[in-house]
């Protein structure tokens, strides 16, 4: 038997209604926030992620699905959505569209990570990216869109943590302070941290090694190094969040795992799904478009992991809306009555009614059992006498009541009795 690859999952027909609910809610939220869908390829040139996500990140150094295609190009399956959307923004000249350009996507992503609860190698993100506005109200609006999404899913068990990681100016000061702090500890830190010390000391804050974590806990905090502009921006973001009634805590240790961020960063975190508790993360990335060769276009966005959201909803007993069931099951008894049931079922489908009938030559009893398992709201048997009278009893399964209905009137009855 061939199994599904490690770190990937099937979504089976009996589970897909949960996904449809989460994705449908994402689309509803996108609509009210006036975000338009953008679809970019699942694979991109490797260089896009190296330059966009950052050479010193775990994602780029350890987790990318990279391969050479038959034309000798280095190709990578997207580990996240932002870089591809930024590439598309530049390549398609979207800077000339009315700004801010507000976009969203629902996409599979690929990271070669050690699988555990809520951490997969193929996972899915709902993300939004807003290009063109440097203003702090945009930061608050993007965070509010994320919190609205979680609310509409019925998720209560998350807390919002925010931070500012400043701009190039404050980062230069902060990096100096980090280096001073870390230098005497380097011998006790992991090889990756030692490497990051030279290239990007901010990344050391993100290290998951227990020994390093103890050392980074006492490292200088970026909030103490913000330049006046970044500090004012952060204060305004907090003010706008309060105006919208969004609860948050400031967590100066959030630096995010990707290199493109500047100023505001944020995460929605839950304690109900184990170690991988971040269900949604994002932030401002004012330097990414110019880093990728576009103009000086500020941007901000977030992405939420759909598997983690569904896991959180299951673990906290959020009720998903009922999956759809056929409105009627039409049973036949022999070839000619089965044909009639088949015809009626398909004519109902043309009118938009979910209808089902037998495809397994089963007995009427077995057909009813199947109809019951499907959750059909009404059932009807078509036999000889029904063929002669041109009418059948529609049985309402919830209470057993029957309604004698001419074949031609079944659609009207079902339309009026949902």
277 lines the binding site for ligand HAM (CB under 6 A): no
Binds ligand HAM (CB under 6 A): choice among 226, 280, 371, 394: 280
Contact track, ligand HAM, 199-238, x by CB under 6 A: ----------------------------------------
164 lines the binding site for ligand HAM (CB under 6 A): no
Q: Distance between CA 321 and CA 307 in Å, rounded? A: 17
102 lines the binding site for ligand HAM (CB under 6 A): no
Strand partners, 116: 119
Q: Quick one: which of 262, 343, 299, 269 has its CA closest to 99?
A: 299
Min. distance of Cβ 158 from ligand HAM in angstroms? 11
Query: What's the CA angle centered on 320, arms 316 and 323, to 5 degrees?
Result: 150
Contact track, ligand HAM, 248-267, x by CB under 6 A: ---------xx---------
Give yes or no for a contact between 33 and 100, defined as CB atoms under 8 angstroms apart: no
Binds ligand HAM (CB under 6 A): choice among 144, 149, 240, 302: 302
Strand order in the sheet with 264-269: 36-37, 101-110, 122-131, 299-305, 278-284, 264-269, 159-164, 249-250
Min. distance of Cβ 278 from ligand HAM in angstroms? 4
C-beta closer to ligand HAM: residue 308 or 338? 308
Give yes or no for a contact between 82 and 238, defined as CB atoms under 8 angstroms apart: no
129 lines the binding site for ligand HAM (CB under 6 A): yes
Written in H, E and C, the secondary structure of 356-406 is EECCCCCCHHHHHHHHHHHCCCEEEEECHHHHHHCEEEEEECCCCCEEEEE
Contact track, ligand HAM, 108-127, x by CB under 6 A: ---x-x----xxx--x-x-x
- How many CB atoms sit inside 10 A of residue 418's CB? 7
Give yes or no for a contact between 403 and 397, defined as CB atoms under 8 angstroms apart: no
Min. distance of Cβ 251 from ligand HAM in angstroms? 14
410 lines the binding site for ligand HAM (CB under 6 A): no
Query: What's the CA angle centered on 251, arms 246 and 256, to 5 degrees?
Result: 100
Min. distance of Cβ 152 from ligand HAM in angstroms? 17
Contacts of 109 (CB under 8 A, 6+ apart): 77, 78, 79, 80, 81, 122, 123, 124, 125
Task: Pick out residues in 72-101 that bind ligand HAM (CB under 6 A).
Answer: 80-82
305 lines the binding site for ligand HAM (CB under 6 A): yes
Binds ligand HAM (CB under 6 A): choice among 29, 140, 303, 311: 303
Which residues of this chain interact with ligand HAM, rule CB under 6 A? Answer: 80-82, 111, 113, 118-120, 123, 125, 127, 129, 257-258, 278-283, 285, 301-305, 307-308
């Amino acid at each position: 038997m061939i199994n599904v690859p490690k770190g990937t999952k099937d979504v089976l027909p009996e589970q897909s209604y949960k996904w449809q609910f989460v994705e449908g809610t994402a689309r509803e939220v996108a609509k009210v926030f006036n975000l338009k869908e953008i679809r970019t390829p699942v694979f991109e040139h490797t260089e896009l992620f190296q330059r966009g996500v950052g050479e010193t990140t775990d994602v780029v150094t350890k987790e990318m699905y990279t391969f050479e295609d038959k034309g000798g190009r280095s190709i990578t399956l997207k580990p996240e959505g932002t870089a591809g959307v930024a590439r598309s923004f530049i390549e398609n000249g979207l800077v000339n569209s009315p700004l801010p350009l507000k976009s969203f996507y629902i996409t599979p992503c690929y990271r070669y990570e050690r699988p555990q609860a809520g951490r997969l190698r193929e996972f899915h993100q709902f993300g939004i990216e807003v290009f063109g506005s440097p203003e702090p109200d945009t930061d608050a609006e993007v965070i509010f869109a994320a919190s609205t999404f979680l609310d509409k899913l019925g998720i209560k068990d998350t807390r919002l943590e925010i931070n500012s990681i400043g701009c190039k100016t404050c980062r230069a000061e902060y990096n100096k302070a980090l280096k001073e702090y870390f230098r005497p500890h380097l011998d006790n830190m992991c090889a990756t941290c030692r490497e990051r010390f030279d290239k990007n000391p901010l990344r050391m804050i993100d290290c998951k090694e227990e020994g390093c974590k103890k050392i980074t806990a006492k490292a200088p905090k970026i909030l103490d190094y913000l330049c006046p502009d970044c500090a004012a921006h952060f204060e305004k973001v907090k003010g706008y969040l309060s105006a919208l009634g969004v609860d948050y805590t400031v967590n100066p240790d959030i630096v995010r795992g990707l290199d493109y961020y500047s100023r505001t960063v944020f995460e929605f975190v839950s304690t109900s799904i184990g170690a991988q508790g971040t269900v949604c993360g994002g932030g401002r990335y004012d330097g990414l478009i110019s880093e990728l060769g576009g103009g000086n276009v500020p941007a901000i966005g977030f992405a939420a992991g759909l598997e983690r959201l569904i896991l959180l909803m299951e673990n906290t007993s959020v009720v998903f809306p009922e999956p759809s069931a056929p409105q009627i099951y039409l049973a036949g008894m022999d070839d000619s009555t089965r044909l009639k049931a088949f015809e009626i079922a398909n004519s109902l489908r043309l009118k938009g009614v979910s209808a089902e009938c037998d495809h397994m030559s089963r007995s009427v009893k077995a057909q009813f059992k199947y109809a019951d398992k499907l959750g059909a709201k009404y059932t009807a048997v078509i036999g000889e006498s029904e063929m002669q009278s041109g009418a059948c009893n529609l049985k309402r399964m919830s209470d057993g009541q029957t309604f004698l209905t001419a074949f031609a009137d079944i659609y009207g009855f079902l339309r009026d009795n949902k």
